Amino acid sequence: MEDDRHNNIGTNKLPNFLLSVKLKYVKLGYHYLISNAMYLFLIPLLISASAHLSTLSIQDILVLWENLKFNLLTVTLCSCLIVFLGTLYFMSRPRGVYLVDFACYKPEAARMCTKEIFMERSGLTGSFSEENLMFQKKILERSGLGQKTYLPPAVLRVPPNPNMAEARKEAEEVMFGAIDEVLEKTGVKAKDIGILVVNCSLFNPTPSLSAMIVNHYKLRGNIVSYNLGGMGCSAGLISIDLAKQLLQVHPNSYALVVSMENITLNWYFGNNRSMLVSNCLFRMGGAAVLLSNRNSDRGRAKYQLLHTVRTHKGAEDKSYGCVFQEEDDTKRVGVSLSKDLMAVAGEALKANITTLGPLVLPMSEQLLFFATLVARKVFKMKVKPYIPDFKLAFEHFCIHAGGRAVLDELEKNLELSDWHMEPSRMTLYRFGNTSSSSLWYELAYTEAKGRIRKGDRTWQIAFGSGFKCNSAVWRAMRRIDPAKEKNPWVDEIHEFPVHVPKVATITIGSSSSS
């Protein structure tokens, strides 16, 4: 048997990460704010100078000219100063990154897998013991997944036939389905795409997934392409951050970001319970996002990207090993979940949120938070910690639908309402854990409900192996009319939300999981 690190799933509670923060992450947040907003200090200066000049009359300007025309040095210095400030402003100002549109892949009905079908096919494989079949049934009952999630044909077939050819078919079906839809929605030609970023954690064939897309759509030869592998469920926001940085140095460009996970070759056929949990949660899905830095796209874009914050805890051994792909005792490959997973996730979330706070919270919240933090950490005063109200910074929350337990704990720690958590819970219920693409199903749900108004801010937050926690903040450029939208929810949005009852946790060894 393997050690407890691999046989047990940790407790289903996150540590209360907002009650204990480190000053270095607060400092990092203010460092981001200052380094990324230097150009903001130039705007008031230029506005002030323009306002002062606007008060001058024609006579004042003539008098000024008479005084200056005999002073060549003053005129030269003033001209150089104006040119310098203007150049500094335009060089330091980051390019706007706009989300023109996005698409989430909705598999055909033949891919649908109810809980009963899941259990029937799992039993027919002959791979699982009776005890572990019952274990999977209990996990399904407590997972928060509904009856309409999707699995690829190779897994649903009797007997299952996972192989490279089937895995490629799944990848092509998901990626091309999402890309076709986003190109149709935006009217952008494939040849116009200059940047391509694809992420899939567990399936990395040769040629790469990005090469598959380049070949299928005959993208141009000088395209800047990246293929991210092994980065877990948070890789979708890593891809967004990478695309954002590339758009800062490639003017007048479109960037296509494709996020997915591949189920076919990563179905676990063993009896290690920490590896069986993934079978019960992960489902088929993917998303394609089209970003632009063109000013001409500002008017039609849905969102503008305001911030991305990435946190990596991989330097700590406990964090590095909490989600681990490896072989079990029978040499079957699976992804094991450590009993420390929830604690590690809490620490990563704490660091990420603390860094993000100075970038997004109103000044009143920052002052209260910072004052109590200094009082506790520096002056060792016994004062109650102040928990910032992130609902003042964001109208909408898209929290990675990794599992019901994490959603429950985040709802409690961030003091969010059922309304705020609805997109995440309904995505988990309808589509399951689609890994890095789940955030886009959640945003699509919010759009289909008609909740997005011009100026609304949306916080996407995801976490994954490594261990990483990443955030992205978007501002709506316009109201999103659900009647004009095409996304996987619109034809059934009237059925949601559904009530998902809370149930007790189950015990695995000395630990528990929901």
Residue 488: which of 452, 446, 460, 451 has the closest Cα?
446
Q: Give the confidence band of 509 by pLDDT, cuts at 50, 70, 90.
A: very low
CA distance 236 to 170: 19
- Sequence letter at residue 363: M
Is the separation of the CB atoms in 31 and 357 below 8 Å? no
- Which H helix or E strand runs over 303? strand 303-312
Residue 512 is predicted with a pLDDT of 33
End-to-end CA distance of the chain: 23
The pLDDT assigned to 6 comes to 41
Residue 67: which pLDDT band, with cuts at 50, 70 and 90?
low
Q: How far apart are CA 511 and CA 500, in angstroms?
A: 24
The 3-class secondary structure across 358-393, one letter per residue, is HHHCCHHHHHHHHHHHHHHHCCCCCCCCCCCCHHHC
- Percent of the chain with pLDDT strictly greater than 90: 68
Q: What is the pLDDT of residues 372-422, one digit of tens each?
A: 878 877 888 887 777 788 999 999 999 999 999 889 988 988 899 999 999
What angle, 0 to 180 degrees and rounded to 10, lies between the N-to-C axes of helices 23-36 and 363-377?
A: 140
Please say whether the beta carbons of 4 and 510 come within 8 A.
Answer: yes
Q: How confident is the model at residue 16 (pLDDT cuts 50, 70, 90)?
A: low
What tokens does 436 get?
A: 């890095």
Q: How many helices (H) and strands (E) would you count in the chain?
A: 18, 15
CA-based max dimension of the chain: 98
Long-range CB pairs of 153-156 (<8 Å, 24+ gap) are 153/110, 153/111, 154/264, 155/121, 155/263, 155/264, 155/267, 156/111, 156/113, 156/117, 156/121
Q: For residue 377, what pLDDT is reported?
A: 77
Return the number of other C-beta atoms located less than 10 Å from residue 416's C-beta.
19
pLDDT digits (tens, 9 = 90+) for 275-284: 999 999 999 9
Q: Break the chain into its structural domains and give their ranges.
A: 98-495
Residues 6+ apart with CB under 8 A from 479: 452, 453, 454
**Sign of the CA dihedral with 235 first, then 236, 240, and 243 last:** positive
Task: Give the DSSP H or E segment for 199.
Answer: strand 193-199
| Catalytic residue numbers, as ranges | 233, 312, 396, 400, 433
Contacts of 12 (CB under 8 A, 6+ apart): 342, 405, 408, 409, 505, 512, 513, 514
Mean pLDDT, rounded, for 294-300: 96
Give the pLDDT mean for 203-227.
97
The average pLDDT across 306-313 equals 96
Over its C-alpha atoms, the chain yields an Rg (Å, rounded) of 26
Report the pLDDT value the prediction gives residue 30, as an integer from 0 to 100.
54
Q: What is the mean pLDDT of residues 455-474?
A: 96
Q: Return the structure tokens found at 183.
A: 């190109």
CATH superfamily of this structure's domain 98-495 = Thiolase/Chalcone synthase (3.40.47.10)
Mean pLDDT of the chain: 87
More confident residue, 155 or 350: 155
Cβ(134)–Cβ(122) below 8 Å? no
